Structure 1
Amino acid sequence: MDYGGRERFITGATLATAGAALIGQPVGFYIASFLWTLVANPDTMTEAKEKWQTNTELAALQKSVTSLAERLETVADWEGGTAEIVRPMLKNFVKETEELGQHRVGMGNLLGSSAKYYNGLSWVVLAVGTAMMAMGVASIASKVHPVTAAAVRATVTASLQALWTSIKGLRPHLLKFAMVAGFLYLGIHTLTAEQGMKFQDMKAGMRYQNLKLANDPTTGAPTPNTDIPNLA
């Protein structure tokens, strides 16, 4: 198994937890608990970035609809209300699909940035965990020499307070990232759903030669209507 970012996070948090148990001070457990909340997988973020920025299916759909719109422009005998609705709707669909692709690239960039950030953060967590384990061992060892125990305890306490002050400042940055990613994902999801409803929302226009269309009473989507006679 590759030793990647996630493994560094887990190792660092585990060392911090063991060190906190040896040290026996509340702030040590605060730090260890906080480190566990940071555990993430930068490698998965990088893979997700590639998937978000690979818009093969979206590009194929856009190409297909563009081709359809171009062909419909050449059908001179297609007239009436439905033609007036469908032609601009297809053009608008293509435009919005392009924008959706750009949003997906933006989401991929955000995931790529976060992967780099969390990869660096994993080394910080590993370093903090290693330091706490070292302080825990020093605390246990100092009990053998009562003369130095007080000095070691004071040094460990000061070091833990400094660590806690430095790492707790990460919370606002992580919260900000989560909010930005959440809003961006929600926006993309909404746009995707709207695009998927474009054809479902299309209403049947006026009758024209040899075409029988009505609207489904439940979904409103175009559906064949055999009650309409052919117009000869």
Structure 2
Amino acid sequence: MRFSKCCVTILAAVVCVLAASSAEAATVYAFWSFDTQLDGTGSVDSDVTAETFPGTPSRTRTGTATINNSPGGEASYTDFQGNTWLGSGTLNTPGHSLGWNAGSTGNSMTHFFSMQNLTDLHIRMAIRSATNSPPPLSSFSAIDYSLDSGGTWLTAASGSALDFTIGSNAFHEYLLDLSALDAIEGQSDVQLRFIFDTVPSSTSFRVDNIEFSATIPEPATALLISLAFAGGILRRPTRCRG
């Protein structure tokens, strides 16, 4: 079967459109395990465990009664590389995490990272808020962000997005969807801060296996060009003949 030059041109344009539209957006990650060994028998490590973000993400924390060795971690979590990190699921080793003891005030954790050429930030972490009496913490008091090295802080999330699950003195997964926070997208100097109230007496607060993910947008420009090209050809009055 023979095709005219016109038909071949249109076919090529359609192929370009399909190729562009099938290009999937890639995802980048940053992960903090707070452990030096997968089985949790090593030591605590506060540096980022693995990451594919632009630059190297980092984090800090504040509080008057932080736990230095931070024993205890989420029972099991598989990171973006397919590695499974193990912990006791309680406040004892194996496993390590970020920890704050009863009575700690001025509590926060802040992450520093770049969203340059990235969109749709998502965050997961495991939280253990011990359920002894009095009632433990059950939400962050604020989650805010800064684009000027901490000079100005604006609200990143509010309402039910601040709440996390408690119960059984166990670690529970907490998910935060910041894909609608357009202000941080494309920014090279982002700080994201999680603030929580004084840790009540006879309780403690732990965070483990923090994972950030963001999207590298698909090549939309190429798709639009291909669509415009194909559309221009299809509007031509020339008839294709076999």
Greater strand share, structure number = 2
Taking structure 2 as the reference length, what is the TM-score of the superposition? 0.25
Greater helix share, structure number = 1
Taking structure 1 as the reference length, what is the TM-score of the superposition? 0.25
